[in-house]
A = this chain, B = another copy of it.
Amino acid sequence: MTVTIYDVAREANVSMATVSRVVNGNQNVKPATRKKVLKVIEELGYRPNAVARGLASKKTTTVGVIIPDISNSTYSELARGIEDIATMYRYNIILSNSDQNENKELQLLETMLGKQVDGIVFMSDMITPVLLHELERSPTPIVLAGSIEETGKIASVNIDYFEAAYEAVKKLIENGHLNIAFISGPMTSKINRDYKMKGYREALEDADITFKPELVVECNNSYDEGMQAVLDLKPHKPTAYFVNNDEMAIGVIHAVEEGGQSIPEEVEIISYENSKLARMARPMLSSVALPLYDIGAVSMRLLTKYMNKEEIDENQVILPYRIEERQSTKNDES
């Protein structure tokens, strides 16, 4: 009932190979026969079966995307970058949520490899040794997007998380703060635990400010925990907050203001994300601007190079970031 390449060949009085050639845009076809074949394709409503093609050619033109949670705006922005570039290179995307669960991640990898994806973009806050082992064993290229894997064995695209954190905290220090709190995301994330934390600590140390563990609070990146953190930190009287993401930062703003302090006069806040929320906050949030879309896009672009077996000059790409100064910090302009 479904029309196949064989039906088209028969109707057009040519061989399957010829039909295949016109379908795939091979130039070795006489214009007249091409036209004839195209006509039959049209008449019969022939639609090439990509599964059969995949089996025969060993290419599926689909790539796997393993992402912690697509409903999280950080990741959905990344995903959009991935998808746009994938579309540009004619790939489709199989997208799955891992919820940062290692077993799910392993199983997803297995499923996608079983589906013969041509490549994989992988995102995870923590690449465990067993995960790394599987990533290395993959018969298909893999690139990590916004995910740290320190051996450098797997290609990745990131920003300099340490540097960005350092710079943000330094700005707070330059504005005269000595008691700077760090509202961190989950320490299970390597980026949080090692890179941002290190940026925070070193910025303090370089300014001869003693690091006080009680000024760092581990949260789940939610608005509510952002508010709660401010309450919890009250005894320590922080005058500035370095906050892991915009949503928590808004929680911090609200808790600080409800506590009767004004921003940025009495308390300054700098976030680490710069989603569109940053401009929707009052005061508007100063924030480290993460190029999420670009991380996704560049990751996918890098993956296409691997899939085409092109030469790769650098498999660990570091994208630039910037700091967007708005109203939650005192700036020269303000």
* A interface residues (Cβ-Cβ under 8 A, vs B): 2, 47-52, 54-55, 60, 62, 69-73, 76-77, 79-80, 83-84, 87, 92-97, 110-116, 139, 223, 247, 250-251, 254, 276-277, 279-280, 282, 293
Which residues of chain B come closer than 8 Å to A76, judged between CB atoms? Answer: 70-73, 76
Complex CA distance for A223 and B247, rounded to whole angstroms: 16
Which residues of chain B come closer than 8 Å to A247, judged between CB atoms? Answer: 276, 280
Which of the residues B73, B80, B115 comes within 8 Å of A69, measured between beta carbons?
B80
Q: Given A55-B55, A95-B93: A47 and B110 within 8 A (CB)?
A: yes
Q: Is the CB of B77 within 8 A of A71?
A: yes
Q: Is the CB of A51 within 8 A of B49?
A: no
A-B residue pairs, 8 tightest by C-beta: A71-B80, A76-B76, A50-B115, A95-B95, A51-B54, A50-B114, A51-B116, A71-B76
Q: Is the CB of A83 within 8 A of B62?
A: no
Which residues of chain B come closer than 8 Å to A55, judged between CB atoms? Answer: 49, 51-52, 55
Q: Given A92-B94, A94-B62: A250 and B280 within 8 A (CB)?
A: yes
Q: How far is the CB of A263 from chain B (nearest CB, A)?
A: 13
Q: Is the CB of B80 within 8 A of A113?
A: no
Which residues of chain B come closer than 8 Å to A250, judged between CB atoms? Answer: 280
Q: How far is the CB of A331 from chain B (nearest CB, A)?
A: 21
Complex CA distance for A113 and B77, rounded to whole angstroms: 27
Which residues of chain B come closer than 8 Å to A47, judged between CB atoms? Answer: 110, 113-114
Known: A62-B94, A71-B79, A73-B76. 19 other contacts (CB 8 A): A2-B139, A48-B114, A49-B55, A49-B114, A50-B114, A50-B116, A51-B51, A51-B54, A55-B55, A70-B83, A71-B73, A71-B76, A71-B80, A76-B76, A84-B97, A93-B95, A223-B279, A247-B280, A250-B280
Q: How far is the CB of A31 from chain B (nearest CB, A)?
A: 25
In the complex formed, the residue of B with least CB distance to A251 is B280
Q: Is the CB of A83 within 8 A of B110?
A: no
Which residues of chain B come closer than 8 Å to A54, judged between CB atoms? Answer: 51
Which residues of chain B come closer than 8 Å to A111, judged between CB atoms? Answer: 92
Which residues of chain B come closer than 8 Å to A277, judged between CB atoms? Answer: 277, 280
Which residues of chain B come closer than 8 Å to A93, judged between CB atoms? Answer: 94-96
Complex CA distance for A249 and B127, rounded to whole angstroms: 40
Complex CA distance for A254 and B327, rounded to whole angstroms: 15
